[in-house]
Structure formats: structure tokens, C-alpha cells
Structure 1
Amino acid sequence: MAEHRTRPVSRVKPATVFSTVAIGAVTASIGMAGGPAYAAPDYPSWGEIEQAKQNEQTKQAEIARLGELLAGLRATADAAVEASMIAAEKHRNTLLQRDAAQERADKLSKQAEEAQAVAEISRMRAGLLAAHLAKRADGGLTSELAFSGDPDGLLQQLGMASKLGERSQTLYDQAQADKNSADALGGQAKKATAERERLAAAAEVQAEASRAAAAASMAAVAEQEQRSAELYEQLALLKDTTAALERQRVEGIAQEAAEEAMRNAPPVPAPAPAPAPGGGNPGPAPAPNPPPAPAPPNQGAVETAIAFASGQLGKPYSSPGNSRDTWDCSGLTRAAYGAAGIYIGTHSATNQYHTLAGQGKAVSVRDAQRGDLLFWGGGGSYYHVAIYLGGGQILEAPDYGKTVRIWPIWGSPSAAARPAG
């Protein structure tokens, strides 16, 4: 399968209204917004290109126009790919919640069955003792006490009966408590099952949304490739170069922008100051020190993880992938570091970042080293994760229509973590 050469979420910004128009069209196509239909941009004809080449001023204007159209196409594809990644991550997270709810429902159902069995035994014990007491009462203890010549013996029997009554009450109370416990667990099991069913239905809806977003993404990328090929040819004609050189130049600019964004990324935020003793306001305090950086990566673990991921190159993307023949982003990173004996979290980019950050393994994007994980997203929610190889390269399972690949860093990763630190 040929790879589409697009870099999602590029920092190269279109200079015309085309980007807004095109992104709006893609957004509408994946059901994120409704609204009026937008006109397609006015692509130049070859006749216009030939005419523009005759006049230097017109030629420069046409070169600028082609650059804007290329940037707009890239922005459209980038927005569609990002939307597809976000939809896939949302679906994966709901599947994790559904599976957790299923596990909870199964556990509660088993506990409810066991509690019901205990309650039944308690009920039978209380019933047997009650029947025994009733039988003793039928023997006429009161009349025996009145007419017997052995009152001490009868009093002893009465004392035993009293103790049996107390025992009967204890057993009754225990049986009632066991029944209440079984009923409560049964109710919890029903609620957990209902929650699992709700999440299963939500996952089905999100799966459909993910498929629609993926289709829109692939259509946008295909449109970008088709249109860009001709635009690069036209640009090459105006500049007396080749389409391949023009493509390399534009993609090189995008890669340089992504690498510059990495170099300028902010440091890992410091933790918030702890509250004052007693729960009061902490009051004035010096600014907290930044969290300590994780240890340098364990190169053996890093290379084991990268070797595993490299063995998956060329395999198709699918979400959720089966982590064998198909892969998604977090499935690949989880399996790669699992091969190195390192647990990085569940099958979710968001969970993997927070798992590693909770272990003190978050690092600044600008400090990322070979083997670190890069995350795309923001606000504590991440929709993509990849293994950083160093030198501006990543190893990733990117998106529908593409395969596991080694690729130049794209866009603006917003967070990083060091699993082998």
C-alpha cells in the first residue's frame, strides 16, 4: 500500500481563505458541523501557468498563489487526519471503560451468587432452630413447671430454652444480614451490567463515528495527493525546477517547523504546591522547583522496544488494531515496551501519558531522547503517540490508509515521556 506523504497538524499555515473553506468542508463531511456548502478553490489551469510565466510579476504572484493552495490542501488533510485520530482514541477509551465495566459486573455477579448461597444456609439454620424451639414449646413446659416434683430440673430446662431463644435470634439476625448483603450485591451487579450495556452502545456509536472520520481523512489525503501533484508540476514549470524538488522543499519547510517547535517546547510543568497543614490556604511560598528529570534511558530496553516496533513496519493501521497483524498508535507503543518488560499503561495514548507521568517519567518535548514517547493532543487528553528515534524521526502507527512507518516528526507534539528512564 502506497503511503500518503502528508504531515498531520503541520505548522505551515495557509495564507488564504482556502484553508478555512476546505477545513469547513471536511468538518461537515465527518458530521462535526453543519452549514452552507462551500465552493472549491479556484485551481489554476495550465494555460494560466503558461501565461504567467511570460511576465515576472505575474509569475511571482502565481507562485505565491500555488504555495497558498498547497498549504490549504495540507491544512485540510491535516485537520481530517487529526479528527480521525481523535475519534479513534475516543473509541479506544470507551472500549476500555466497557471492558472494565464488564469485569466489574462479572465480579459482582459472582459475589452476589456466593452471598446468596451464604444467605440461604443462614436461613436454613435459623429455620431449623426455630422448628426445634416450636417442638419444645409443644411439650408443655409451663404445665410441667406447675405440677412437677422436680422444679430444679424444669428450671434448668427453661434456662436452656432461653439460651436457645437467644441463639435463634442471633441466627435470625445473621440470616437477615446475609440476605441484605446478597440483595445489595445483586443490585450492584445489575447496575454494573446496565453500565456495561450503556458503554457497549456508546462504543458502537463511536465506532461508526470513527469509521466516518477515517473515510473523511482518507478522502482528504487522496484529494491532497491528487491536487498537490499537479500544483507541484505547475510550480516547477514556473520556477524552472522539478516537481520532486518543489515537493522536497515544501515538505522540508514543514519538517523544520516541527523540529523548531520541539526545540521551543516548554519544560514539564512543576507540580502544584501542597496545601497548608489543616487544610488552610498555603500562603506565600517560593515557586516550586521543576520536577526532577527522569534518569537517562536504559539503552538496552530502548533498543528492544525499537527492534520490536521496527519488526512491525509495513503492517496496516487499524483501530483498535489486533496487535499482531494490524496496529494503532498506542497498541504499537504498548507492545513495543511490553517486549522490553516495561508496562506503560493501557491501550490508550491518554492513559499511557498519565501512567508514565504518574511514575515521574514525563519529560519536556525539547528534551526527548531516542526511545522516548511523543504525544499529540492537549488539555490532558492525547490522541496520538509515537516512538521518537532521534534526528527528527519517529516510528509510528499513523492513521487509516497508512502503514507502520518511520517518518519525519510532524506537527507539534505536546508532551513526552521516558518509559525506560
Structure 2
Amino acid sequence: MKPATVFSTVAVGAVTASVGLAGGPAFAEPDYPSWSDIEQAKQNEATKQAEIGRVTELLAGLQRAADAAVQASQMADEAYRITIDQRDRAAERERTLGRQADEADAVAEISKMRAGLLAAHLAKTAGNDLTAELMFSNDDATGLLQQLGMASKLGEQSQAVYDQAVADRNTADALREQAAQAATERVRLATLAEAKAAEARTAANGALTAVAVQEQRSAELYAQLATLKDTTAELERERVEGAAREAAAAALQQQAAASGGGGGSPAPAPAPATGGGGAPAAAPAPAPNPAPAAPNTGAVETAIWFASQQLGEPYRLGGAGPNVWDCSGLTKAAYAAAGIGIGTHSATNQYYTLAGRGKAVSLSQIQRGDLLFWGSGGDYYHVAIYLGGGRILEAPREGVPVREYFIWGSPSAAARPAG
């Protein structure tokens, strides 16, 4: 697939009729020309030009529909990754709270023992026997009063120790309750992750079907277009794909200009639906660093070398090596090979992690090794490594292996891990 733009609207085409993207409306099958139509159109110049325009628009419609299916698939994949990220954080919180609760239990037991020992000592030395001795003895009242004062102090200490024991027990119980709540949240997120995985599989199947239909229909349309123009189908395909590359480059330039040289305020585009279990609404993305540091060439080349070793390996949702990858799994591992952490296994998290370190850069300033992000509204559903010269290295989607490719669509943000 050679997408001209991922942000295009769904076109009326055979793809949407057969796939029904993400539960959206299915459109009627367009009226594809027959070979008889093509031959008749060649008899008249005006009719021929009209038919060329018609075939060209049908090709564009197929491309837009396939692009929309791919975008839906990538967004569903990122929604799954975000949920997994949240599940893992809940699991870590559960472990941490459980460990703290165990420690608090031990402290509470020690406090309980201290309170018990002190109470027993107080009962033995300052109980009823001391009171009776004070009442019936006339020989050493002063000494007995001193003993009573000591008993009072022991009583105060006993109360303090008792209060501490109660506080320690309350702390342990509260931590245990929080750990139980974290466990409940982990289970909820694990269940939600399964649902998100199913949604991602459905979207991926839709994208695979859409692209297959596009390729099948396009092959015949290119042949028909070549017949009308007395060229070859391969030449017409190359011409359209070249136009797609030019359109993508122009879109990137326009995006950089629209954000005032900054990639932190992308143009509006659909954001992944999280269904109540994805990331909460993100704060506005930090503005790009107006004077970013130059990239560390050694780190950049190490990351790119690592990623290039994975070329041709299959895409798999959640893949982080050694032989399967998804987009953020590849970028995370590539920069880990260079000794740089860029965040969790999520495009959204990676952008915000790097932006939070002041490493967001303007799209107009991107350099080799920078990460490009697709998405908007605080959600980034795809990430790739920029190679320079309008090329990227990415793990794109189900059915397409790790590849080097031109910058497609409209990346909306960038960051420099090695800056």
C-alpha cells in the first residue's frame, strides 16, 4: 500500500462496501468501467479524457478508503497499548502496596507486643497492691508517692505506646485495602485489554481486507488507465505513487508551517476512542524546544542500526522483539540499544515522556534519528524513526513488516531522543 494521506475521509468505494470500517456506514459499490467502456472511450478525445478522470478518481477513492482503514487499525492498536500500559502500572502499584502493607503489618505487630509488655509491667508494679500500700502505711509515704508518680508515668507511656500500636495497625489495614483496590483495578484493566485486543484484531482484519480490495481493483484500473493514455500500467502506478510522495512531503511542510514551526500543536484529527479504559484526556502537548540540542550522532546511528536489523520482520501488536514488532516496540528497543529510555511501549507515552524532558522538536527542524508521531488531541497512534531525505523506518501495521518508507500522511509531532 502506498498511502497518499492517512487523514483523508472515507471515500465512496468498494472497500467501504465490503469492510464497513469501525462500524461506520457502508457505501454503494461504485460503477467501475468495463473494458468495453474503455475501448469505446478511446474513440472520442473528450470521452477519453472524461474516462481518464473517472478512473483516476476511482483510484483515489480506493486509496482514501484503504488509508482510513489503516488509520482505524493503528488507532485501535494504540488504544490497546495504552490499556496494557495502565494495567502494568496498576500491577506495579498492587505489588508496591502489598510490600508496604507487609512491612506495616510487621511494625504493627511489634507495636502491639510493646503495648502488651508495658501494660503487663504496669499492672504488676503499679496496680492495686501499690494503692493499698499507700493507703495503710505510715512509715514511708514519700517513697510510695514517688512510686505512684512513676506508675503515672508508666501509664502515660503505656497510653502513648497503645496509641502508636493502633495507628500502626490502621496504617497496615489502609495499605492492605489500597492494595486490594489496585488488584481490582488490575483485573478490570486486564479484562479491558482483552476487549481492546479483540477490537484491534477486528480493525486489523478490516485494514487487510481494505488494502487487498484496493490492490485488486487498482491493478485493473491502472491497466485501463494505461490503455486510455497509451502507456503502461507500471508507469501509471509509478506516477500516482510519485504524486503521493510529493503530497506527503507538502503536507509535512504545511503542518510545520501551520504550527508556527512547532510540532506540539497539531491540526485537529480524530483521536483514538479509549472506551473508558484508555488514557485519560491528556494535557496540551508541551511546545517544541525552540533551540533543541543537536542529536548525538553515535546514539542515533546505534538506534538506526538496531532498527535496520529488524527490516522484514513481521508486525505484531504488542511486539517488542526479538523477531516481532509493533511501532512503539521497535522505537523503544532501538533507543534502548543506544542506552536511551524513551518511555513505555506506547506512542502516546513516548511522545509525552520525551516532550516532558524538553526533547520535543519542530517538524521543520527534524533530523536523522528523530521520532515522528502521527495523531492529535493528546493521542499519538503511530511512531517511526526519521532517516532523513523524507524517509522513515517503521513497523507499520498488521500484514506489513518492518520497512523503510517515505513519510506518509501527516505526522503531527516530533521528538529527539538523542538530543
Q: How far apart, in 1, do the equivalents of 2:388 and 2:226 lie? A: 32
Q: How far apart, in 2, do the equivalents of 1:27 and 1:377 lie? A: 23
Q: Secondary structure in 1 aligned to 2:51?
A: helix
Q: How far apart, in 1, do the equivalents of 2:51 and 2:165 lie? A: 88
- Residue among 217, 225, 229 paired with 1:227: 217
Question: Measured at CA, do residues 8 and 145 of structure 1 come closer, stay the same or move farther in structure 2, by a change above 3 Å?
Answer: farther
Partner AA of 1:205 in structure 2:
A
1:98 is matched with 87
Does the alignment pair 1:257 with 2:247? yes
Does the alignment pair 1:7 with 2:3? yes
Counterpart mapping for 1:124-203 below 5 A? 124-136=113-125, 140-148=129-137, 149-203=139-193
Does the alignment pair 1:360 with 2:335? no
Partner AA of 1:78 in structure 2:
D
Q: How far apart, in 1, do the equivalents of 2:354 and 2:30 lie? A: 45
CA shift, 1:132, in A, is: 2.9
Asked if the contact 2:371/2:415 (under 8 Å) is kept, the reply is yes
Does the alignment pair 1:87 with 2:76? yes
Q: How far apart, in 1, do the equivalents of 2:365 and 2:122 lie? A: 80
1:339 is matched with 337
Asked if the contact 1:119/1:179 (under 8 Å) is kept, the reply is yes
Q: Secondary structure in 1 aligned to 2:185?
A: helix
- Residue among 20, 33, 36 paired with 1:47: 36
CA shift, 1:359, in A, is: 2.2
CA shift, 1:112, in A, is: 0.9
Structure 1-normalised TM-score? 0.88
Percent identical pairs in the alignment equals: 65
Q: How far apart, in 2, do the equivalents of 1:137 and 1:257 lie? A: 93
Q: Name the Cα RMSD after superposition.
A: 2.2
Q: What does the per-residue CA deviation read over 1:15-56, in whole Å, with 9 as the maximum and x for residues that have no partner?
A: xxx81456754773433x3x5x53211111111111112221
Q: How far apart, in 2, do the equivalents of 1:115 and 1:25 lie? A: 61
Asked if the contact 1:371/1:389 (under 8 Å) is kept, the reply is yes
Q: What does the per-residue CA deviation read over 1:156-214, in whole Å, with 9 as the maximum and x for residues that have no partner?
A: 32222212111111111111111111111112111111111221111111111011100
Q: How far apart, in 1, do the equivalents of 2:117 and 2:298 lie? A: 68
Q: How far apart, in 2, do the equivalents of 1:90 and 1:6 lie? A: 24
Question: Measured at CA, do residues 51 and 253 of structure 1 come closer, stay the same or move farther in structure 2, by a change above 3 Å?
Answer: same
Give the gaps of 5 or more residues in structure 2.
266-286
Q: Secondary structure in 2 aligned to 1:318?
A: coil
Partner AA of 1:261 in structure 2:
A
CA shift, 1:269, in A, is: 6.5
Q: How far apart, in 1, do the equivalents of 2:115 and 2:412 lie? A: 65
2:104 is matched with 115
Question: Measured at CA, do residues 351 and 8 of structure 1 come closer, stay the same or move farther in structure 2, by a change above 3 Å?
Answer: farther
Partner AA of 2:252 in structure 1:
M
CA shift, 1:222, in A, is: 0.6
- Residue among 310, 317, 320 paired with 1:319: 317
CA shift, 1:75, in A, is: 0.5
Q: What does the per-residue CA deviation read over 1:291-320, in whole Å, with 9 as the maximum and x for residues that have no partner?
A: 422122222222111111110000000111
2:231 is matched with 241
Q: What does the per-residue CA deviation read over 1:75-102, in whole Å, with 9 as the maximum and x for residues that have no partner?
A: 0110000011011111111101110110
CA shift, 1:10, in A, is: 4.8
Does the alignment pair 1:56 with 2:56? no
Partner AA of 1:354 in structure 2:
Y
Asked if the contact 1:305/1:339 (under 8 Å) is kept, the reply is yes
Asked if the contact 1:26/1:76 (under 8 Å) is kept, the reply is no
CA shift, 1:141, in A, is: 2.1
Q: Secondary structure in 2 aligned to 1:30?
A: helix
Question: Measured at CA, do residues 161 and 121 of structure 1 come closer, stay the same or move farther in structure 2, by a change above 3 Å?
Answer: same
1:292 is matched with 290
Aligned residues: 393
Give the gaps of 5 or more residues in structure 1.
272-288
